[in-house]
Amino acid sequence: MTPLTISTPALLFPAVSLLFLAYTNRFLHLAALVRQLHRDWTERQDDCLRAQIDNMRKRLALIRWMQLLGAVSILLCVVAMVAVMLEADLAGWITFFAALLFMGGSLVCLILEIACSGGALKILLDRVERD
């Protein structure tokens, strides 16, 4: 097994920073949509609105998981870097591998959330076709 250098886990830091910026933007946009849906729901309790609210719940849960898994990933990168500094190569490799798995999980949640966001548009298009 090749030795793990401190720069290897550090490679994830720029990617994680950009991902968290994208995740935060998705969350803020979704929060604004939820507020608008809440106003619309209080005015008229429509089946289409109910479907959109259910979709938003799924998307918010996925965004929370995206952020949590990404945060755990970066924390494990820090632990891997500390392990490298303490010359604990096996611990460094294990934590770095775990960090990659958590980052992969975060990206899977992102893909699922993107699929759900398309579902929200489908709800609106279906309503237009019905009316």
pLDDT one-digit tens code per residue, 25-62:
888 888 888 888 878 878 887 777 778 888 888 999 99
Top-ranked range on mean pLDDT: pick from 31-35, 111-115, 118-122, 126-130: 111-115
Residue 1 lies in a domain: no
The reported pLDDT for the residue numbered 120 is 72
In a domain, residue 14? The reply is yes
Most confident of 46-50, 113-117, 120-124: 113-117
Number of domains in the chain: 1
By residue range, what is the domain housing residue 123?
7-130
Q: Is residue 85 part of a domain?
A: yes
**C-alpha triplet 24, 13, 65: angle, nearest 5°:** 40
Q: Is residue 19 part of a domain?
A: yes
Is residue 17 a part of any domain in this protein? yes
Q: Does any domain span residue 66?
A: yes
**Is residue 2 included in any domain, yes or no?**
no
pLDDT at residue number 131: 64
Q: CB under 8 Å to 89, separation ≥6 — which residues?
A: 1, 3, 4, 83
**pLDDT tier at 66 (50, 70, 90 boundaries)?**
very high
